[in-house]
Amino acid sequence: MPNFLLLPLLSWMVPAHASYDSYTLFYVLAFTVNLVWLVWEGHRRGYPMRAWLVLLACTTLTFILGTKMLAFSGPEWRQFLGTGQWPASEARTVLGGAVACTLTLLALRRPFGFSWHVFDAFVLPMCAGLMVQSVGCLITGCCFGHPTASSWGVTYRPDTLPYLVQADRGLIPIGAAHSLPVHPTQLYTLLVCAAVGAILLLTRHRNWPGGSRRLLHLGLLLIGRFLIEFWRDPAGEQVGSAMRWHGGLALKQVQWTLLVLTPLALGWWAWLLYRARNVEPQPERVPGQRSVRNLLAVALMLALTAWLGPRALTLPEVLVIKTLLLAVLALEAGRFLLDSLAGIRPARLVLPLGLVGVVLVLSSQAPADSAGTARPSYTSLGLGVSAGSFERLQNTDGGCGGSTPLLEYRHRYRLASLDVSRTLLPGAGPDGRVHKAEITTGMRLHVGTDRQTPQFSDPLLGSGMRKSTLLLSINPYAQIDRPWFGLGQACW
């Protein structure tokens, strides 16, 4: 029977060198699609963008952590609870992410002022993100299915997980050109997500209670996952792959769990719709802007990532979280600046600017270099507030009539400063080359105002009104220090 051969696709998609990671590419792409859609969805619903981005950052972080924590083994849980150190495991399951994201929304919905409708904003973006990630799983070979003789079975080349599992079981000889055809369970997942998304789109105009679409979304996805598990190989399942017998029925552990959760989700959805027949559904409530709450949430997230350590998040995950946090802090700093131009208080900028620096330092979670050959380095963070006053005689160019008379002004300036730099110390690099220079690169940001008060009262020479000027300076710089000389360059 002819089989669809995935080998040409993989040969084209994956370069010959083993370091290429197509899973990470689609992992980042899935998060990008999901978050871009969520930002647009929040804008469409009229949510305040700063509060919405904070909520997205919190749910994204807990989703990432949930996918990993549910996949922990027993010894890994004991290590995490006993020592507080994040295990080195890279296993993930989307079920843990869905649970963690839902619990986070339940915890933050009321404090941030959202109604139950906020749950519904996540359903279509999540379907789209899962569809993208399914393509990455298909190309990588994870989450694969049982061997099949069907015409839609797919085969994998050597060194992929399906190939290695089948070789270990003796199903194929070592050195075979490709694996036996297996069920493309990753494509089954993609089709399930597409079908669920289509159902949600077809019912989007129905006046359902807030949160009901989220329950329908979860219930349908759980049904699909329950059915797909019949074709998925246990070696491709990250959690609950062991078979358990109950009442003469043999199912995987994860299927027994889904058998309990699915009726709960769909039953709750049906109850909400039944209750809505007698009670008018509440309209969606748009929350207000609370800068202190937003910045406090950012600070708590930074503390959490710092406590978890560098193993908790991979570099792509760090970039996703850091992008959201920096967007929140940039909007908060901009709001403070625009609201204060008439009489700015730079001390109010210290908190958002300081958190920007902490984002750059504490959220830089990346796996440690396993070879230990990376050059030693450190990050420096500087914060400052300055204020002062001085008097100055100044005039303006009068054009053909000559300059205007010198007039006395008093200047009062206030300035907030942030300096972030990265220093590479002398040492051997990953390529084995010895570097003798210490290299520092960084960025300085200064924000403030200069208020000019006229010290004269002659109505013919001036109105006596105060003038405020925005002070803004962004200065990148680089410096190289060797034992006997140094060289630096800055843009001012």
341: amino acid identity, one letter: L
Helix, strand or coil for residue 411?
Answer: strand
Higher pLDDT, 487 or 14: 487
| Better-scored residue on pLDDT, 381 or 27 | 27
What integer is the mean pLDDT of 84-99?
Answer: 84
Q: Please give the structure tokens belonging to residue 130.
A: 């899962």
C-alpha distance from residue 345 to each of 35, 404, 415, 450 (Å): 34, 32, 8, 11
Higher pLDDT, 37 or 436: 37
pLDDT at 290: 77
pLDDT over threshold 60, residue 233: yes
Residue partners of 15: CB distance under 8 A and separation at least 6: none
What is the percent of the chain where pLDDT is above 70?
A: 80
Give 20-29 pLDDT, tens digit per residue.
567 888 888 9
Residue 203: partners with Cβ closer than 8 Å, 6 or more residues away: 213, 216
Looking at every residue in the chain, the average pLDDT score rounds to: 79
CA distance 253 to 41: 36
**pLDDT value, residue 348:** 54
User: Residue 16 gets which letter from DSSP?
Assistant: S
Is-contact 410 441, C-beta < 8 A?
A: no
Residue 7 has pLDDT above 60, yes or no: no
Tokens 């997230």 belong to residue: 301
Whether the pLDDT of residue 52 is over 70: the answer is yes
Q: Is pLDDT larger for residue 458 or for residue 215?
A: 215
In contact, 140 and 23? CB cutoff 8 Å: yes
Least confident interval from 29-43, 116-130, 157-171, 349-363: 349-363
pLDDT for residue 188 is more than 90: yes
The secondary structure of 150-204 as a DSSP string is STT-B---TTSHHHHHHHHTTSS-TT-SSPPPB--HHHHHHHHHHHHHHHHHHTT
DSSP per residue, 318-386: HHHHHHHHHHHHHHHHHHHHHHTTTS--THHHHHHHHHHHHHHHHT------TT--SPPEEEEEEEEEE
Give the range with max mean pLDDT: 101-110, 277-286, 308-317, 396-405.
101-110
The reported pLDDT for the residue numbered 122 is 95
Q: What pLDDT does 4 receive?
A: 39
* pLDDT tens-digit series, residues 145-179: 899 888 888 888 887 888 888 888 888 888 888 88
> Given a cut of 60, is residue 237 above it in pLDDT?
yes
The CA angle 302-309-125, to the nearest 5 degrees, is 60
